[in-house]
Amino acid sequence: MRAAMLILFAVLLMGQRDPILVPEVSQHEIHVRQGFTGTELLLFGAILDPGGRAAGNQYDIVVVLKGPSEPVRLREKERFAGVWVNAASSDFRSVPSFFAMASSRPVSDIVDDKTAAIYEFGTDYIQLSPSGVIDPVEQARFAAGLVDLKTRQQLYKQDFGGVQVSEQVLYQARISLPSSVTTGTYTAETFAISRGRVIASALAEVEVKKVGFERLIADYSQEWSLIYGLFAVFLSVGMGWAAGRLFAMI
Protein backbone atom coordinates (compact mmCIF):
# COMPACT_ATOMS: atom_id res chain seq x y z
CA MET A 1 0.00 0.00 0.00
CA ARG A 2 2.80 2.41 0.95
CA ALA A 3 4.68 1.61 -2.27
CA ALA A 4 1.55 2.37 -4.32
CA MET A 5 1.15 5.72 -2.56
CA LEU A 6 4.79 6.64 -3.28
CA ILE A 7 4.38 5.73 -6.95
CA LEU A 8 1.21 7.85 -7.16
CA PHE A 9 2.98 10.79 -5.47
CA ALA A 10 5.89 10.53 -7.93
CA VAL A 11 3.50 10.50 -10.89
CA LEU A 12 1.77 13.62 -9.59
CA LEU A 13 5.12 15.40 -9.25
CA MET A 14 6.12 14.42 -12.75
CA GLY A 15 2.82 15.80 -14.03
CA GLN A 16 3.36 19.15 -12.31
CA ARG A 17 4.16 21.71 -15.00
CA ASP A 18 3.55 25.05 -13.33
CA PRO A 19 6.65 27.04 -12.43
CA ILE A 20 8.01 27.46 -8.92
CA LEU A 21 8.79 30.88 -7.48
CA VAL A 22 11.81 31.23 -5.20
CA PRO A 23 11.42 34.67 -3.57
CA GLU A 24 13.78 36.67 -1.38
CA VAL A 25 13.99 40.17 0.09
CA SER A 26 17.08 42.26 0.76
CA GLN A 27 16.10 42.81 4.41
CA HIS A 28 13.99 40.58 6.61
CA GLU A 29 14.24 43.08 9.46
CA ILE A 30 14.09 46.87 9.24
CA HIS A 31 15.14 48.75 12.36
CA VAL A 32 13.49 52.09 13.03
CA ARG A 33 15.61 54.32 15.24
CA GLN A 34 16.13 58.04 15.76
CA GLY A 35 16.89 59.75 12.46
CA PHE A 36 15.26 57.01 10.36
CA THR A 37 14.55 58.52 6.93
CA GLY A 38 13.08 55.47 5.22
CA THR A 39 14.68 52.65 3.31
CA GLU A 40 14.45 50.69 0.07
CA LEU A 41 13.52 47.04 -0.17
CA LEU A 42 14.77 44.84 -2.98
CA LEU A 43 12.38 42.01 -3.79
CA PHE A 44 14.02 39.43 -6.03
CA GLY A 45 14.01 35.76 -6.87
CA ALA A 46 13.89 33.13 -9.60
CA ILE A 47 11.26 31.37 -11.70
CA LEU A 48 11.97 27.66 -12.00
CA ASP A 49 10.17 24.65 -13.39
CA PRO A 50 9.49 21.64 -11.06
CA GLY A 51 12.78 20.05 -12.13
CA GLY A 52 14.77 23.03 -10.87
CA ARG A 53 15.62 24.32 -14.34
CA ALA A 54 14.92 27.78 -15.69
CA ALA A 55 11.30 28.20 -16.76
CA GLY A 56 11.15 28.44 -20.52
CA ASN A 57 7.74 30.04 -21.04
CA GLN A 58 6.92 33.74 -21.01
CA TYR A 59 5.74 34.93 -17.62
CA ASP A 60 4.74 38.23 -16.08
CA ILE A 61 5.61 38.99 -12.48
CA VAL A 62 3.60 41.07 -10.01
CA VAL A 63 4.77 41.79 -6.46
CA VAL A 64 2.53 43.17 -3.71
CA LEU A 65 3.96 44.48 -0.43
CA LYS A 66 1.44 45.11 2.36
CA GLY A 67 1.88 46.47 5.87
CA PRO A 68 -0.14 45.56 8.98
CA SER A 69 -3.87 46.27 8.68
CA GLU A 70 -5.64 48.69 11.02
CA PRO A 71 -9.15 50.11 11.48
CA VAL A 72 -9.64 53.62 10.10
CA ARG A 73 -12.39 56.20 10.46
CA LEU A 74 -12.34 58.68 7.59
CA ARG A 75 -14.05 62.02 8.19
CA GLU A 76 -15.07 64.54 5.59
CA LYS A 77 -14.52 68.24 6.29
CA GLU A 78 -17.22 70.77 5.46
CA ARG A 79 -17.10 74.55 5.62
CA PHE A 80 -19.78 75.94 7.93
CA ALA A 81 -20.03 79.64 8.84
CA GLY A 82 -16.44 80.16 7.75
CA VAL A 83 -15.12 77.27 9.87
CA TRP A 84 -14.13 73.78 8.73
CA VAL A 85 -16.06 71.15 10.73
CA ASN A 86 -16.42 67.37 10.59
CA ALA A 87 -19.30 66.23 8.40
CA ALA A 88 -19.94 62.72 7.03
CA SER A 89 -17.68 59.83 7.98
CA SER A 90 -17.05 56.21 7.04
CA ASP A 91 -15.41 53.36 8.95
CA PHE A 92 -13.10 50.72 7.48
CA ARG A 93 -12.28 47.57 9.45
CA SER A 94 -9.07 46.49 7.75
CA VAL A 95 -6.93 49.10 5.98
CA PRO A 96 -3.33 48.22 5.03
CA SER A 97 -1.01 50.70 6.73
CA PHE A 98 1.25 50.40 3.67
CA PHE A 99 0.60 49.09 0.17
CA ALA A 100 2.90 48.87 -2.83
CA MET A 101 2.49 47.01 -6.11
CA ALA A 102 5.01 46.58 -8.91
CA SER A 103 4.54 44.65 -12.14
CA SER A 104 6.53 43.72 -15.20
CA ARG A 105 3.88 45.33 -17.46
CA PRO A 106 0.69 47.34 -16.95
CA VAL A 107 -1.73 45.15 -15.01
CA SER A 108 -4.48 45.75 -17.59
CA ASP A 109 -2.24 44.01 -20.15
CA ILE A 110 -1.61 41.04 -17.85
CA VAL A 111 -4.95 40.07 -16.23
CA ASP A 112 -8.61 41.04 -16.35
CA ASP A 113 -10.28 43.24 -13.74
CA LYS A 114 -11.73 40.29 -11.81
CA THR A 115 -8.34 38.66 -11.33
CA ALA A 116 -6.74 41.99 -10.46
CA ALA A 117 -9.41 42.55 -7.79
CA ILE A 118 -8.95 39.08 -6.28
CA TYR A 119 -5.18 39.51 -5.84
CA GLU A 120 -5.19 43.30 -5.23
CA PHE A 121 -3.03 44.16 -8.23
CA GLY A 122 -2.97 47.92 -7.71
CA THR A 123 -4.33 50.70 -5.53
CA ASP A 124 -7.69 50.55 -7.35
CA TYR A 125 -8.19 47.01 -6.04
CA ILE A 126 -7.22 47.32 -2.36
CA GLN A 127 -9.74 45.50 -0.16
CA LEU A 128 -10.56 48.07 2.53
CA SER A 129 -13.41 46.18 4.26
CA PRO A 130 -15.86 49.03 5.01
CA SER A 131 -18.13 48.58 8.03
CA GLY A 132 -21.62 49.86 8.75
CA VAL A 133 -24.44 50.68 6.36
CA ILE A 134 -23.65 53.32 3.76
CA ASP A 135 -24.77 54.11 0.24
CA PRO A 136 -22.54 52.24 -2.26
CA VAL A 137 -21.80 55.45 -4.16
CA GLU A 138 -20.77 57.24 -0.95
CA GLN A 139 -18.76 54.20 0.12
CA ALA A 140 -16.83 54.22 -3.17
CA ARG A 141 -16.20 57.96 -2.78
CA PHE A 142 -14.82 57.55 0.73
CA ALA A 143 -12.68 54.59 -0.35
CA ALA A 144 -11.22 56.62 -3.23
CA GLY A 145 -10.56 59.49 -0.84
CA LEU A 146 -8.76 57.20 1.61
CA VAL A 147 -6.55 55.75 -1.13
CA ASP A 148 -5.78 59.26 -2.41
CA LEU A 149 -4.83 60.41 1.11
CA LYS A 150 -2.52 57.41 1.64
CA THR A 151 -1.00 57.95 -1.82
CA ARG A 152 -0.16 61.58 -1.03
CA GLN A 153 1.43 60.38 2.21
CA GLN A 154 3.59 58.00 0.11
CA LEU A 155 2.09 55.02 1.92
CA TYR A 156 0.26 53.67 -1.14
CA LYS A 157 2.01 53.33 -4.49
CA GLN A 158 2.06 51.31 -7.69
CA ASP A 159 4.68 50.97 -10.38
CA PHE A 160 3.68 49.45 -13.71
CA GLY A 161 6.94 48.23 -15.17
CA GLY A 162 8.71 48.26 -11.81
CA VAL A 163 9.62 44.55 -12.04
CA GLN A 164 12.57 43.60 -14.22
CA VAL A 165 12.66 40.03 -15.51
CA SER A 166 15.97 38.70 -16.88
CA GLU A 167 15.97 35.78 -19.33
CA GLN A 168 12.64 34.59 -17.89
CA VAL A 169 14.59 33.35 -14.85
CA LEU A 170 15.45 36.17 -12.45
CA TYR A 171 13.23 39.03 -11.38
CA GLN A 172 13.69 42.03 -9.13
CA ALA A 173 11.72 45.04 -7.93
CA ARG A 174 12.67 47.97 -5.69
CA ILE A 175 10.11 49.43 -3.30
CA SER A 176 10.83 52.42 -1.07
CA LEU A 177 9.42 52.69 2.44
CA PRO A 178 9.02 56.22 3.88
CA SER A 179 10.06 57.23 7.38
CA SER A 180 6.42 57.19 8.51
CA VAL A 181 5.91 53.43 8.03
CA THR A 182 4.03 51.55 10.73
CA THR A 183 5.93 48.90 12.67
CA GLY A 184 4.85 45.28 12.39
CA THR A 185 4.97 42.36 9.96
CA TYR A 186 4.92 43.17 6.23
CA THR A 187 4.05 40.55 3.63
CA ALA A 188 5.72 40.52 0.22
CA GLU A 189 3.80 38.28 -2.16
CA THR A 190 5.07 37.45 -5.64
CA PHE A 191 2.84 36.16 -8.44
CA ALA A 192 3.82 34.50 -11.73
CA ILE A 193 1.21 35.02 -14.44
CA SER A 194 0.81 33.43 -17.83
CA ARG A 195 -1.98 34.07 -20.35
CA GLY A 196 -4.03 36.00 -17.83
CA ARG A 197 -3.86 33.30 -15.15
CA VAL A 198 -1.95 33.30 -11.85
CA ILE A 199 -0.05 30.02 -11.98
CA ALA A 200 2.31 30.40 -9.02
CA SER A 201 2.72 32.56 -5.94
CA ALA A 202 5.15 32.79 -3.04
CA LEU A 203 5.28 34.76 0.19
CA ALA A 204 8.08 36.41 2.14
CA GLU A 205 7.87 38.46 5.34
CA VAL A 206 9.63 41.60 6.53
CA GLU A 207 9.57 42.74 10.16
CA VAL A 208 9.67 46.49 10.79
CA LYS A 209 10.49 47.20 14.43
CA LYS A 210 11.60 50.05 16.62
CA VAL A 211 14.94 49.65 18.38
CA GLY A 212 16.90 51.58 20.98
CA PHE A 213 15.35 54.55 22.75
CA GLU A 214 12.37 54.67 20.33
CA ARG A 215 11.39 51.11 21.24
CA LEU A 216 11.71 51.89 24.96
CA ILE A 217 9.37 54.87 24.60
CA ALA A 218 6.89 52.87 22.49
CA ASP A 219 6.81 49.98 24.99
CA TYR A 220 6.45 52.36 27.94
CA SER A 221 3.58 54.26 26.28
CA GLN A 222 1.65 51.02 25.78
CA GLU A 223 2.32 49.36 29.14
CA TRP A 224 1.98 52.53 31.25
CA SER A 225 -0.31 54.63 29.06
CA LEU A 226 -1.80 56.74 31.91
CA ILE A 227 1.56 57.63 33.43
CA TYR A 228 3.01 58.27 29.98
CA GLY A 229 0.13 60.61 29.11
CA LEU A 230 0.43 62.56 32.39
CA PHE A 231 4.19 62.83 31.94
CA ALA A 232 3.74 64.15 28.41
CA VAL A 233 1.27 66.79 29.66
CA PHE A 234 3.55 67.90 32.52
CA LEU A 235 6.53 67.99 30.17
CA SER A 236 4.64 70.19 27.69
CA VAL A 237 3.48 72.55 30.44
CA GLY A 238 6.98 72.70 31.93
CA MET A 239 8.61 73.47 28.60
CA GLY A 240 6.01 76.17 27.90
CA TRP A 241 6.60 77.75 31.32
CA ALA A 242 10.39 77.61 30.84
CA ALA A 243 10.13 79.18 27.40
CA GLY A 244 7.94 81.97 28.78
CA ARG A 245 10.40 82.70 31.59
CA LEU A 246 13.28 82.71 29.12
CA PHE A 247 11.64 85.23 26.80
CA ALA A 248 10.64 87.37 29.80
CA MET A 249 14.31 87.62 30.80
CA ILE A 250 15.44 88.72 27.33
Do residue 204 and residue 219 come from a single domain? no
Q: CB neighbours (10 Å) of residue 174?
A: 15
Same domain, 107 and 204: yes
Report the C-alpha gap between 141 and 148 in whole angstroms: 11
Cα 41 to the center of its chain, rounded Å: 12
33, 118: one domain: yes
What's the pLDDT tens digit per position in 123-142?
999 998 877 767 778 888 88
Residue 6, pLDDT score: 37
Look up the domain containing 243 and give its range.
213-249
8 located within any domain: no
Same-domain status, 221 and 122: no
Classify residue 11 by burial, with Cβ atoms within 10 Å: 0-12, 13-18, 19+: exposed
Same domain membership, residue 152 and residue 234: no
The CATH code of the domain that includes 131 is 2.60.40.3880
Is residue 57 located within the same domain as residue 78? yes
Contact yes or no for 27/206 (Cβ under 8 A): yes
The answer to the question of residue 1 being in a domain is: no
Residue 5 lies in a domain: no
If asked whether residues 202 and 188 sit together in one domain, one would say: yes
Angle between helices 225-249 and 213-223 (to 10 degrees): 120
Query: Residue 9 has what pLDDT?
Result: 39
Residue 60 has a pLDDT of 92
Q: Please check whether residues 176 and 233 belong to one and the same domain.
A: no
For the segment 222-229, the average pLDDT, to the nearest whole number, is 55
pLDDT tens-place string over residues 36-79? 888 999 999 988 876 555 555 678 999 999 999 999 888 777 66
Contact assessment for residue 83 and residue 57, using Cβ atoms and an 8 Å cutoff: no
Whole-Å CA distances, 86 to 130, 134, 153, 234: 19, 17, 21, 30
Residue 38's contacts (CB-CB under 8 Å, 6 or more residues apart) are: 176, 177, 178, 179, 181
Do 203 and 167 share a domain, yes or no?
A: yes
pLDDT at 230 over 70: no
In a domain, 110, yes or no: yes
Same domain, 194 and 206: yes
Same domain, residue pair 155 and 229: no
For the chain, the domain total comes to: 2
Residue 131 shares a structural domain with residue 245: no
Q: Alpha helix locations (H) across 20-135?
A: 113-119
Look at residue 194 and tell me if it is in a domain: yes
